[in-house]
Amino acid sequence: MDRDHACATDAAPPVDEPRRLPRTDVLLADPRLTAAARRLGRELVKDVVARVQTRARAGEVPIGEIADHAVAALPATASALRPVINATGVLLHTNLGRAALSKAARDAVLAASGTTDVELDLTTGARARRGSSTLDALLRSVPAAEAAHVVNNGAAALALTATALAQGREIIVSRGEMVEIGDGFRLPDLLESTGARLREVGTTNRTTPADYAAAVGPDTGFILKVHPSNFRVTGFTREASVAELAPLGVPVVADIGSGLLTPEPVLPGEPDATGWLRAGASLVTASGDKLLGGPQCGLLLGDAELVRRLARHPLARALRVDKLTLAALEATVRGPEPPTLTALRADPVELRRRAERLAEELRADGVDSRAVDTEAVVGGGGAPGVTLPSAAVSLPAEYAALLRGTDPAVLARVGDGRCLLDLRAVPVDVDARLAEAVRRAGASRGTAGRGTGT
Ligand SMILES: *Cc1c(COP(=O)(O)O)cnc(C)c1O
């Protein structure tokens, strides 16, 4: 391109003229972007710059402001995972990573994230049992368990149990408990993939202790009792309790799913590890990131000899949890009430008060908002059919999509043609950020959501 042309372009760029963008390395030399490259990695910053350059080429960003826009578009961390406020009214939302960790658990994760004494005795300098303080914390919370082991998730706990105790043998399970846990994953398939054979007993709605007793034989690895955690069978039903199965002379493995270690008064129908161990289960398996409110992991609690066999099995190594999980789990079990339980136990009157306060505050800013009563659920494979009275801030429906784009993003529920921000799963100290997100969403919509607010 000739010189004259270039000067003319600099003075007043004609619309159809190719724009002369500053070179990428020149942009990356901006001190703010250099600092960001140290914090986030050069590739990530380059990608952000490239995206802004594309927008500049399309005339959406003034050429002199590319660096400014790139700085504004930098992500907070080097991971694309973004924080999302859970305003769905589903306490454990699988798509949102189930349980939110407590502050104590987050701090523990951060502290353990460098090199740490996860498998070392600092007093002697010798190797120590991996995660021993986490296992001790679990056993202190569940004295009915002789021993504990932790794996990657609830499914891994079952896979390890089936492999170590029933490979080439039989697992006796009720036809009413052959469940799909979600996203196409079925427990029977998982169990059979370990080389165990399923011995189905009873019917979908009725299985008696005698059905199990008739199936017990020399090939029995164990009886599996599964808590139907995401559906309910009602009407003409009968299931055998753990207490009825315990005397049959073979190990009873009980999958409680939800991870409650002790009874939870808000959910009287939900089994807990202590209760089923006391009733005679040899082993209880559970998830760590459901009602326990901790990190994703699978808990195995119970008979010392069985737990030892699981922990020593070669497969155990492939299902081993990392130091971050051990740290978060210990802090969840030992520490203050995690957010999941705070949400579960929240007082509906207080939720309504928060909704009123937020709706009023937003109305003052011209947002069409009002407080409404709602029903929340546990979700994520816990307490099916149980609803928890809750309250929400009701907004025009279009907010649902706009709020997914704010930072932090907000996931709402849409009902009755309105966008509902259900407060039960929103920690109270997040209310201000939630309101701010709504204001920004309203501003991005242009009209700022002006309405009657009725
Ligand atoms: C959730 C659940 C599982 C699977 O646990 P993950 O931690 O998701 O692997 C297994 N069994 C029951 C009864 C469950 O509720």
Q: For 380-421, write each residue's pLDDT tens digit.
A: 767 888 999 999 999 999 999 999 999 999 999 998 899 999
Ligand 1: which residue has its CA nearest to atom 13? 257
Position 267 scores a pLDDT of: 95
What is the Å distance from ligand 1's center to 195 Cα? Answer: 20
Ligand 1 near 53 CB (within 6 A) = no
Position 228 scores a pLDDT of: 82
Ligand 1 near 257 CB (within 6 A) = yes
Q: Which residues pair with 120 in a beta bridge?
A: 127
Position 18 scores a pLDDT of: 56
Kind and range of the H or E element at 419? Answer: strand 418-422
Ligand 1: which residue has its CA nearest to atom 6? 154
Distances (CA, A) of 250 to 83, 175, 212, 356, 430: 46, 19, 11, 56, 50
Q: Which of 3-17, 25-39, 153-167 has the lowest mean pLDDT?
A: 3-17
Which residue segments constitute the domains of the chain, with CATH numbers given? 3-73 (no CATH), 84-94+341-447 (3.90.1150.180), 102-336 (3.40.640.10)
Residues 381, 258 contacting (CB under 8 angstroms): yes
Q: Which atom of ligand 1 is nearest to the CA of 157?
A: 9
Tokens 């155990």 sit on residue: 316
Phi/psi-derived region of residue 55, left when phi > 0, alpha when psi is between -120 and 50, beta in every other case: alpha
Say how far apart CA 103 and CA 423 lie, in whole Å: 19
Band of pLDDT at residue 11, cut at 50, 70 and 90: very low
182-198 pLDDT, tens digit per residue, is 777 899 999 999 999 99
Distances (CA, A) of 240 to 91, 124, 271: 30, 50, 14
Q: Which atom of ligand 1 is nearest to the CA of 296?
A: 7
Q: Which of 13-22, 211-220, 250-259 has the lowest mean pLDDT?
A: 13-22
Band of pLDDT at residue 161, cut at 50, 70 and 90: very high
Position 381 scores a pLDDT of: 67
pTM of the complete model: 0.91
Ligand 1 near 155 CB (within 6 A) = yes
25: tokens are 């390395």
Say how far apart CA 433 and CA 83 lie, in whole Å: 12
The residue that leads in pLDDT, 323 or 180, is 323
CA dihedral 187, 188, 190, 193 (to 10 degrees): 180
Position 231 scores a pLDDT of: 80
Mean pLDDT, the chain, as a whole number?
A: 92
203: tokens are 């019917």
90: tokens are 């589903």
At residue 288, does pLDDT exceed 60?
yes
Helix locations, 345-430, DSSP H: 348-364, 399-403
Percent above pLDDT 90 for the chain: 86
Percent above pLDDT 70 for the chain: 94
99-132 pLDDT, tens digit per residue, is 999 999 999 999 999 999 999 999 999 999 999 9
423: tokens are 């407060």
- The Cα diameter of the chain in Å comes to 96
What is the Å distance from ligand 1's center to 348 Cα? Answer: 28
Band of pLDDT at residue 262, cut at 50, 70 and 90: very high
53-110 pLDDT, tens digit per residue, is 999 999 999 999 999 999 999 999 999 999 999 999 999 999 999 999 999 999 999 9
Contact residues for 453 (Cβ-Cβ < 8 A; gap 6+): 359, 363, 367, 368, 369, 370
Residue range 134-141: mean pLDDT, rounded: 98
Q: At 439, which amino acid appears? A: R
354-380 pLDDT, tens digit per residue, is 999 999 999 999 999 999 999 999 997
Say how far apart CA 226 and CA 158 lie, in whole Å: 10
Kind and range of the H or E element at 311? Answer: helix 304-312
Which 3 state secondary structure label does DSSP give 6?
helix
What is the Å distance from ligand 1's center to 381 Cα? Answer: 7
The number of helix segments (H) and strand segments (E) in the chain equals 19, 15
At residue 178, does pLDDT exceed 50?
yes
Q: At 162, which amino acid appears? A: A
Band of pLDDT at residue 19, cut at 50, 70 and 90: low
Ligand 1 near 285 CB (within 6 A) = no
Position 185 scores a pLDDT of: 85
The residue that leads in pLDDT, 113 or 445, is 113
Ligand 1: which residue has its CA nearest to atom 8? 154
